[in-house]
């Protein structure tokens, strides 16, 4: 493939940094607002103070080559991405209008964690390593190889990169403007459904990689993710009533859930709201203690749900899951003896 890339006049540009531009407004935003605030705060601090972290930018910024993408190369690259397969050629042709071709030398960064996200990428040649900075060290998330996309999640999460992307070997990528994707999403229901599914998968992957599941092996985590089902909840529909003895795990992907405590005479009930990118976990059946909360949707919402029956079957196969009630108070907010909520974490790209 590399031998057939267009030989166009090129110019050298420096690695992107956050700039005050108006990014495209995409839907839905799935990362909770408090998490976005933390990311922005950390970015501001890192800009004001000298950093010795492995991902800090040197004085002489890395340089890569950027040219206008050959339409045929860009179109072929998109057809290799699972999300864009089988879409009409006309739609893909409109999507690649204004696309760029970037040539990234080995070891150089394509983008940095916390950068503005106004586009996404498709790998044409080579491998991009996605990594995050944690406690002064690099934590590898995954590798994006030929025919894979990256950077899509940043377009739906307040326009900030959730990780850094670095070239392993010389790489070639196609950069597609987020504004083009938004235009296509507005009129293509199939693509819109695929993007929503990608968001659900990323949220569940992030949830299962959290410290809450440290004692669970990778096979069990994969099986857990596979048992989650997408569910729509209508306005005022109830997921659980006080007194029920059940197990439930629900990740909110759109809308919200309200957890309401039964009111005492003469008092208003206490309510807790769980928003997109957060989870609710009920362990009443594990502990044999009925819940005292009512869980319902105040308006239309979508969830990724692990039901009582599915979780019980996994508890039989993976006894380590039985320790969840003991670990939950450390990693989540306890609203009742058997009901917890928390944030799934910032997903990878």
The whole-number pLDDT of residue 282 equals 95
Sequence-separated contacts (24+) of 6-9 with Cβ below 8 Å: 6/67, 6/70, 6/73, 6/101, 8/67, 8/68, 8/70, 8/101, 9/67
What are the residues whose beta carbons fall under 8 Å from the beta carbon of 36, sequence distance 6 or more?
157, 158, 160
Residue 159 pLDDT: 64
How far is it, in rounded angstroms, from Cα 118 to Cα 261? 42
More confident residue, 219 or 16: 219
Q: Which residues contact 289 (CB under 8 A, 6 or more apart)?
A: 245, 337, 338
> Mean pLDDT throughout 286-296?
92
Residue 26 reports pLDDT greater than 60: no
Q: What is the pLDDT of residues 236-249, one digit of tens each?
A: 999 999 999 999 99
The span from the CA of 287 to the CA of 297, in Å, is: 25
What SS3 class is residue 265?
coil
Cβ count near 6 (within 10 Å) = 12
Q: What is the pLDDT of residues 125-137, one digit of tens each?
A: 999 998 888 777 8
Res 346: pLDDT? 61
Instruction: Report the percent of the chain where pLDDT is more than 70.
Output: 80
**Nearest C-alpha neighbor of 338 from the set 264, 277, 294, 288:** 288
Mean pLDDT value of segment 306-332: 90
Q: What number is the average pLDDT over the span 186-190?
A: 84
Q: How confident is the model at residue 4 (pLDDT cuts 50, 70, 90)?
A: very low
Residue 231, pLDDT > 90, answer yes
Mean pLDDT of the 261-268 span: 80
Provide mean pLDDT across the span 207-214: 85
Is 3 a residue whose pLDDT tops 50? no
pTM over 0.75? The answer is no
Pick the more confident residue, 186 or 35: 186
Q: What is the pLDDT of residues 72-111, one digit of tens each?
A: 999 999 999 988 888 888 889 989 999 999 999 999 999 9
Q: Which residues pair with 11 in a beta bridge?
A: 66
Residue 296 DSSP one-character state: E
pLDDT bucket at 202, cuts 50 / 70 / 90: confident
Residue given tokens 């306005």 in the structure block = 235
Q: Which residue has the higher pLDDT, 47 or 29?
A: 47
- Return phi, psi of residue 288, to 5°: 75, 20
H/E run at residue 236: none
Mean pLDDT of all residues in 38-58: 47
Domains of the chain and any CATH numbers: 2-187 (2.60.120.10), 207-343 (2.60.120.10)
Is the pLDDT at 114 greater than 70, yes or no? yes
Residues above pLDDT 90, as percent of the chain: 40
Say yes or no to pLDDT of 5 above 50.
Answer: no
Residue with the larger pLDDT of the pair 306 and 161: 306
């Amino acid at each position: 493939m590399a031998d057939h890339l267009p030989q166009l006049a090129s110019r050298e540009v420096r690695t992107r940094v956050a700039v005050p531009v108006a990014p495209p407004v995409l839907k839905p935003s799935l990362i909770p607002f408090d998490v976005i605030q933390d990311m922005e705060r950390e970015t501001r601090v890192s800009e004001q103070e000298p950093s010795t972290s492995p991902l800090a930018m040197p004085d002489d910024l890395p340089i890569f080559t950027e040219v206008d993408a050959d339409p045929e190369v860009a179109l072929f690259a998109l057809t290799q991405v699972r999300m864009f397969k089988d879409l009409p050629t006309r739609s893909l042709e409109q999507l690649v209008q204004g696309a760029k071709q970037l040539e990234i030398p080995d070891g150089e960064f394509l983008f940095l964690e916390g950068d503005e996200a106004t586009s996404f990428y498709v790998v044409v040649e080579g491998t991009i390593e996605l990594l995050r900075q944690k406690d002064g060290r690099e934590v590898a998330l995954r590798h994006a190889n030929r025919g894979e996309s990256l950077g899509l999640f940043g377009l739906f999460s307040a326009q900030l990169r959730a990780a850094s992307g670095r070239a392993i070997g010389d790489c070639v990528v196609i950069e597609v403007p987020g504004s083009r994707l938004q235009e296509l999403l507005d009129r293509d229901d199939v693509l819109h459904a695929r993007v929503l599914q990608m968001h659900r998968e990323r949220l569940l992957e992030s949830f299962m990689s959290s410290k809450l599941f440290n004692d669970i092996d990778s096979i069990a985590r994969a099986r857990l993710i596979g048992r989650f089902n997408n569910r729509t909840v209508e306005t005022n529909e109830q997921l659980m009533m006080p007194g029920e003895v059940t197990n439930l795990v629900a990740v909110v992907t759109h809308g919200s859930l309200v957890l309401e405590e039964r009111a005492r005479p003469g008092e208003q009930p206490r309510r807790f709201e769980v928003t997109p990118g957060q989870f609710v976990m009920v362990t009443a059946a594990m502990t044999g203690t009925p819940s005292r909360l009512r869980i319902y949707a105040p308006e239309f919402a979508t969830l990724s749900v692990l039901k009582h029956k599915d979780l019980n079957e996994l508890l039989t196969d993976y006894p380590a899951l039985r320790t969840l009630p003991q670990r939950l108070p450390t990693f989540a907010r306890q609203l009742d003896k058997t009901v917890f909520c928390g944030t799934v974490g910032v997903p990878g790209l």
